[in-house]
A and B are shown apart, each in its own frame.
Chain A
Amino acid sequence: MGEIMAPSIQPMFNESSPTSNGCRGLLYALVVLLCTVPIGAEVELTARVPVETIQLENGMRFLLVARPEMTTVAAGWVVEVGSADEEPGQTGLSHLLEHLMFKGTRNVGTRDIERERILLDREDRLQSNLRALRAEQLEVGAKKRTQLDRRVGHIEGQLNQVQAEARSISLLGQFSLLYSRLGAVGLNAHTLRDLTFYYVTVPAEKLEAWFWLESDRLLEPVFREFYKELDVLHEERRLRIDSNPTGSADEQLKAEFWDPHPYAWDPQGAPEDLERLTREAARGFFRQHYTPGRITAALVGDFDISQARELAVRYFGRIQARRSPPRREVPWLVDGGKEAERTLSLECDCPPQVQVLYPSAAFGEPDSRTLEVMAAVLNGRSGRLYRSMVLGDGIAFSASTLQSPLRQAGYFSFRAETKGDSTPETLLVAWDREVARLQSEPVTAEELLRAKNRLAADSFRRLKDPSSLLAQLLVYQGMGDWSEINTWPRQVLEIDADEIQAAARRYLEPNRKTVGLYNQSASGSPPSTATAGRGSEEGTP
């Protein structure tokens, strides 16, 4: 491993010009370059992001990356809770909570919080009665049903009144509106299996408003429009899963692969579970998991670090320290667990394709990086899959692999779409051949050089866009440790061909794979949304 030539952080652009024939003078504002042992003929450099960290007394952390050349700040926070922390039967709760976090607070989104609270409680009671009656309706005969219909109608009438009054007090969309009025852009959030993160980009001089709005919604959020939001979630599910060509088939395959781990369900939740969720359950989930010790904020952009520190204390310091229960850990044994190969025949309204999943290394584990390098050897224009399947045999429209590390476990996947007369089975045979090759001989020095040089260059590219740098810091932190962003590039460059071969032998064992063979549904119903498939390098020009 090479030595560190420029360990200090350069706050400003340094006038000395970078040169390509050595490591001296390589000083950049955002990164400290680490020169490593030259591989092949190339000098290898990797990125290191200078991050200032702060921890408040209540346990909340901040990751600060100053980029004075910008005029905005990409800002966000992550909470270490996701769909894998949900109880069976309550799936979709963390995603619902993420949506509800945009509904305002006691200060934002209402003209009379006390009256509104009374109305929301009344609404909950009526909805609970209504759900019980509707469940009963399904069980009883026609005569009894008419009686129940009348009671349902009565409650619905009351509910309409309560909702109408609640609406006349609440101010819809107030939270988002305040951000827009401040000139902020890109307000959004995502819920993953391990974490949930929220972000926005604000004009640099208005950064304090971000501290105001985000600390306010962590202090006392109010989950308005709860039942309307459940409808929105159903539409989101219809969009992302039901009317996505591979959506339902992917969901089935993942469920089979992960079972019985909580990773088995999608963060979108099961439709029947959504119907059971309550506002009280969302409040409980918030209290239990959105504690300062489980939250990390990050800022990337034009701001003063000491000022940010002061604002962090002033605003987020108001949040009381609370204890969270330890995160649920469900064992997922890479070398134990299921031993037999499983094959699922899946119907979809999509191009015929194959997906193969293998249990693999979790986030931060050295093997995860090895598998990423292996994927780089396989993917891309100079990679094995494109050469053999897309160009050579011409059997694939697209073909790619991906190592996906999650917090508790990971998976390695192969995915390819058919072309012409080929079938998912043909693609599977071709993939097995590639696996056998990886297991029986080391990748060549040239292949390894190309893969690593691409990964090294990518380690800089992914820092270019401030909001994507922010997202990486938040996601990495949510999975365990933000500093992976700096560990990863160096470790990746140390990986050698023997390690890749060993990883192929360990993880790509045939009896550990779960195979999904996707074929068009027999009904011949054609359509659905967006063509699936990552890594298609020759789609429509």
Chain B
Amino acid sequence: MRRGDLSLLGLLWVACGATAHSADPPSIPTSPLALHFDDSEIQLPKAEGRRREIPTGAVVYLAEDHTLPLVEVAVALRAGSFLEPVDQVGLASLTGALVRRGGTQARSADSFDDRVDELGARIQSFAGFTRSAASLSVPTWALDDALDLYFEVLSSPAFQEDRLASAKANLRESMSRRDQDPLEILDREWRWLVFGRQHFSSSALTTSSLDAIDRAAVTRFHGTYWRPENFIIAVSGDFRAEEILASLEARLARWPNPQPDRTRDGLVEWPPEGPRFEAKPGLYHYEADVAQAKVALGTRLSGDPPWDSQDRFALEVLGEILGGSGAISRIAGRLRTAEGLVYRASARLDPGELWVGDFQIQFDTRSDQVARAVELSLEELQRIRSQPVHPTELEVAKQSLLGKLRLSFDTAEEIAGLLAENELLGRPHDYWNRYLRGIEDVSAGQVLQAARTYLLPDRMLYLVVGRWNEIRGDAPLGESHLEEVAGHRVQHLPARDPLTLRALE
């Protein structure tokens, strides 16, 4: 029997296991699938009744839950690296991190920190590529005081010089360590190879960009984008809707420099443009002295599937079959369960939120096993591109995706958060209903079609971080085993200076 058929047999057994019988007590069937379950439809929360607009322009999503005496508030806004000047890479994230750390106009950073802890509250802020956010978690009994503090720091942060200096010193420290972590190297080089270095989602902090950021720049960035009209607020937990709305409204109305006519759309152009880069297929290697090689292979996905296209849902199901549910997905099932080559193996197909993402298989394995593991991964790709998936395997993937969907809406915090996320991205609120139906409707034919459209062997990139001498393996014709498997001569990527990320000689 061919090894690749192992998982398929397992699935066939599931299909007939429900009817098997044995000597167990009559009340307990031989398979859990023979148990009777009441049908239950997944109830997706609706936005109606939860969405409110505040006169200052902010949108609020509310989800009350009185299980615990806690309130969670999260403000998210369309601001991130995509708004940075090219010579100030890191401005958005430094601003995001410092909003909470640098004190306020009325209170020093130390006294602010003291007060937050005194209330048993937690306040955090950060920024990424396309969004910034700040969160508050507070016991109900301290809600009012904590809201005061939270909006005080969001509206008039002081960005105290000593805190800015300390944050920069720590950033410089973590930059100097960038080459100590092979997974960080793998991630950075992969992004550069697949999405190019020019796009903001590939940008990385360097010493010169960090030097170019001063208090004035941070203050200006905050003043421009951290504004109520740009806010999407999720509130969940132990509160009363009308009380908290009034409370938010009053605090947002006190914002400095009110700009009553401006809207979110007038402030930020949205959505930001995705990377335009033609990835070059090939085998790439980055030398690192590690006990275990780190490997990524895959492609940039093509096209731009809209939110509700059936293509998108077929991709989701395909991704689940290849890499979704741990040890039983095809990649981990083959590399780990069947072959014992890896502990951790993942595969993702990322249809993207604002732009289309990538297809990537990733694993760690002993250097001399890399070629074999890559070879098996390619066999699995060939298999999924050539034969339709078994109906039971398809069903398992769907149930697993729907199980995850259900779990992502299981608490008030998740409900408010996911609805706010829709608003931030510009994703329609009924998307999750379409997702639910769309996933249910995906056929084996559509999965096969998606595999043939998106998993393109001749477009593949292979990236290996580790000791090349041990990884390469020997092949009869003098080229390395890995080169033979990948079908490319290796290109050695240059080691980089951790601070500047420039290639070292």
**Which A residues fall within an 8 A CB radius of B?**
13-14, 17-18, 20, 26, 28-31, 33, 40, 42-43, 45, 47, 67, 69-72, 102, 107-109, 111, 167-168, 171-174, 176-178, 180-188, 201, 203-206, 208-209, 212-213, 225, 227-236, 238-239, 242-243, 245, 314-315, 318, 349-351, 380-382, 387, 390-391, 394, 397, 419-420, 446, 449-451, 453-454, 456-458, 460-461, 463-466, 523, 525-531, 538-541
Contacts and interface: CB of A to CB of B under 8 A. Distances in A.
Given A72-B406, A351-B180, A419 B340 contact: no
B399 A173 contact: no
B502 interface: no
Q: Report which residue of A17, A167, A232 has the largest number of chain B beta carbons within 10 angstroms of its beta carbon.
A: A232
B469 interface: no
B487 to A, nearest CB: 26
A107 to B, nearest CB: 6
Contact of B6 (A172, A204, A453): A172
Interface of B: 1, 6-7, 9-11, 13-14, 22, 25, 27-33, 35, 37-40, 43, 65-70, 93-94, 96-97, 101, 110, 113-114, 116-122, 126-127, 137-144, 162-163, 166-167, 169-171, 173-174, 177, 179-185, 205, 238, 240, 288-292, 325-328, 333, 336-344, 364-366, 392, 395-397, 399-400, 402-404, 406-407, 410-411, 413, 465
B399 A18 contact: no
Contacts, number: 312
Given A18-B140, A177-B10, A315-B28, A531 B174 contact: yes
Contacts of B410: 70-72, 466
A213 B14 CA distance: 14
A527 B35 contact: no
B402 A205 contact: no
B13 A111 contact: yes
A184 B290 contact: no
Given A180-B400, A239-B292, A541-B171, A174 B10 contact: yes
Nearest to A242: B291
Nearest to B11: A177
26 contacts: A17-B240, A20-B140, A26-B69, A28-B68, A30-B68, A33-B69, A174-B13, A177-B11, A177-B396, A178-B33, A182-B399, A182-B403, A205-B37, A205-B40, A206-B35, A231-B340, A235-B366, A239-B292, A314-B27, A390-B170, A456-B139, A460-B68, A464-B411, A529-B181, A530-B181, A540-B93
A540 B171 contact: yes
A460 B139 contact: yes
Contacts of A523: 289
Given A351-B180, A381-B116, A531-B174, A177 B328 contact: yes
Contacts of A43: 141
Contact of B69 (A203, A349, A460): A460
Q: Report which residue of A28, A451, A466 has the largest number of chain B beta carbons within 10 angstroms of its beta carbon.
A: A28
A14 B238 CA distance: 12
Contacts of A177: 10-11, 14, 328, 396
B180 A528 contact: yes
Q: Report which residue of B32, B184, B342 has the largest number of chain A beta carbons within 10 angstroms of its beta carbon.
A: B32
Contacts of A458: 120
B41 to A, nearest CB: 10
A366 B270 CA distance: 56
A174 B364 CA distance: 24
Contacts of A14: 66
Contacts of B35: 206, 208-209, 212
B10 A173 contact: yes
Contacts of B122: 457
B120 A453 contact: yes
A421 to B, nearest CB: 11
Contacts of B411: 70, 464-465
B326 A538 contact: no
Contacts of A228: 337-340
Nearest to A541: B97
Given A176-B326, A449-B118, A457 B180 contact: no
A392 to B, nearest CB: 10
A49 to B, nearest CB: 10
Nearest to A463: B68
B166 A538 contact: yes
Q: Report which residue of A45, A236, A457 has the largest number of chain B beta carbons within 10 angstroms of its beta carbon.
A: A457
Contacts of B121: 457
Given A107-B31, A457-B120, 11 more contacts: A42-B119, A172-B6, A177-B11, A239-B344, A243-B182, A382-B114, A453-B117, A464-B411, A464-B413, A528-B180, A528-B290
A26 to B, nearest CB: 7
A528 B119 contact: no
A63 B9 CA distance: 38
Given A173-B327, A397-B173, A525-B289, A461 B364 contact: no
B384 to A, nearest CB: 16
A185 B288 CA distance: 36
Given A71-B410, A174-B13, A20 B141 contact: yes
A403 B179 CA distance: 31
B11 A450 contact: no
A235 B171 contact: no
A45 B183 contact: no
B37 A206 contact: yes
Contact of A102 (B141, B327, B333, B413): B327
Contact of B67 (A29, A173, A390): A29
The 6 A-B pairs of least Cβ separation, nearest first, read: A457-B120, A231-B340, A183-B403, A541-B97, A228-B340, A20-B141
Q: Report which residue of A13, A174, A456 has the largest number of chain B beta carbons within 10 angstroms of its beta carbon.
A: A174
A308 B5 CA distance: 39
Contacts of B400: 180-181, 183, 185
A529 B182 contact: yes
A430 to B, nearest CB: 16
Contact of B407 (A107, A174, A185): A185
Contacts of B326: 176, 187-188
Contacts of A181: 14, 33, 392, 395-396, 399-400
Nearest to A397: B173
B182 A528 contact: yes
A419 B177 CA distance: 11
B194 to A, nearest CB: 21
A378 to B, nearest CB: 13
A180 B180 contact: no
A201 B28 contact: no
A419 B292 contact: no
A232 B340 contact: yes
Nearest to A237: B343
A126 to B, nearest CB: 17
Nearest to B139: A457
Contacts of A235: 292, 340-344, 364-366
Nearest to A21: B141
B325 A172 contact: no
A172 B69 contact: no
Contacts of B292: 235, 238-239, 242-243
B236 to A, nearest CB: 10
A111 B366 CA distance: 33
B115 to A, nearest CB: 9
Given A178-B14, A182-B32, A419-B169, A529 B183 contact: yes
Nearest to B114: A382
B498 to A, nearest CB: 9
Nearest to A202: B403
B358 to A, nearest CB: 22
Given A212-B28, A235-B364, A397-B170, A173 B333 contact: yes
Contact of B141 (A45, A234, A382): A45
B14 A174 contact: yes
Contacts of A464: 68, 70, 411, 413
Nearest to B118: A450
B33 A243 contact: no
B341 to A, nearest CB: 7
